[in-house]
Amino acid sequence: MKITKELLTLNQDIAGQEIGIPVYYVNCGKDDAPSVYIQSAVHAAEMQGSAVIFQLLTFLPKLGLNTNFILVPNCNPFGRTQRAGEYLQGRFDATTGNNWNRFYHYDESLVTKFLNSLEGSESLNDKANEKRIVSDFRFALSKSIEDLTKGEWGINTAQYLNHKLQSLAVKADLVIDLHTGPSSTRHIYSPDFLVEHARRFNIENIISIPCKFAGALDEASFIPWRLLQQGLCEKGVEFQYGVKAFTVELGSQENICLTQAYEDMKGILNFLNTEGLVTGNPKIDANDITVTALKNYKTLFSKHAGMVEYLAKAGDKVEKGQTIARVLNSLEFDNDRGLLEIKSPSSGIVILHYPSAAVQVGTQLYKIATDA
């Protein structure tokens, strides 16, 4: 096993000083080994995943590895330099408001074109052919990402960042994008057809997402392969391969905990073990896991401006009609509207709430995995 490090320049300040991201390559030394890509902190204030990658790099040399790794612990050199007051303004581009996790590249027509190009080719059912299709399709995906960054008219900063990261991730068979919520419990976004696999991360809450692109890295990574698989299936071709991709939300932003990062790492290693990618990993204590379809993962927007006390915390179970927060409005302190109660519209599990007590009308107060 060998670990190498590269400093990849993605940004420069106006004096031309390069601002890079460290990329760690872990090579297991086996020919034809699969590849795992893990990045953290594309939303720059979401740093727990960086601590998890630290733990991984410390721990991987003790394990049996059947896979290579590409590990990017602080993948957003733009977001990580934007501060607002005491905090990183790391979720959005401060100039444009663009979400740093919404500009990955996906082009459905590329899948169609690729499928058409296979028309008439012989022995598609040959197992050796699957390998060739995987390699050709990966090349096509890779090239389409590369071509975009070379266009005459340029691309916006979030696109640039996302495409550069995607050009690393596209090489991998498994993509794990480490995030956190604002004030949040641990949860994982899993493609609906991979939910049983996602359980092995041992994270209490799984949000099951459909095969629908909304700009994020996990979707951009698994959807083209899923469509390829379905397209080949329609042609009567048996094709097993698919890229697995997950977005893992490791608690709250602006915070790291190395003890918890060790536990988070154990969950990731447990998943990798069941995929046959690592051996000798520490055992986990299995958690109870709740799976919620994305359509039942609801946002509660504030109807009031004011100062909020969050009574229901991330991870709490709540009942329909339960008072989950209270809002103070100092203009009404002399009457009964000075303190308003906010009730949960549904029973479910509180996944996260807004990090600040100061809210306005329309602020995302809570996100709740509701009971369907």
Q: Which residues of this protein are in contact with Zn ion, per CB under 5 A?
A: 43, 46, 179
State the nearest-atom distance from the C-beta of 178 to Zn ion, in Å. 9
Residue 105 or 179 having the CB closest to Zn ion: 179
Residue among 227 and 351 whose Cβ is closer to Zn ion = 351
d(CA 67, CA 273): 11
User: Closest CB to Zn ion among 179 and 244?
Assistant: 179
Q: Cβ 296 to Zn ion, closest distance in Å?
A: 21
Distance in Å, CB of 46 to Zn ion, minimum: 5
Q: Closest distance between Zn ion and the C-beta of residue 222, in Å?
A: 18
Work out how close the CB of 276 gets to Zn ion at its nearest, in angstroms, rounded to a whole number: 29
Beta bridge partners of 72: 39
In angstroms, give the least distance from the CB of 214 to Zn ion. Answer: 13
CB closer to Zn ion out of 46 and 316: 46
Q: Which is nearer to Zn ion, 43 or 266 (CB)?
A: 43
Nearest-angstrom CA–CA distance, 369 and 348: 5
Question: What are the tokens at 121?
Answer: 């080719």
Residue closer to Zn ion by CB (options 179, 226) is 179
DSSP code per residue over 324-345: EEEEE-GGGTTSTTSEEEEE-S
Q: Which residue is nearest to Zn ion (CB)?
A: 179
8-state DSSP, 99:
B
Evaluate whether 19 touches 77 at the Cβ level (below 8 Å).
Answer: yes
Rounded Cα distance, 344 and 351, in Å: 13
Cα Rg of the chain, angstroms: 22
Distance of alpha carbon 53 from alpha carbon 115, whole angstroms? 37
Residue 209 Cα distances to 215, 216, 294, angstroms: 13, 12, 5
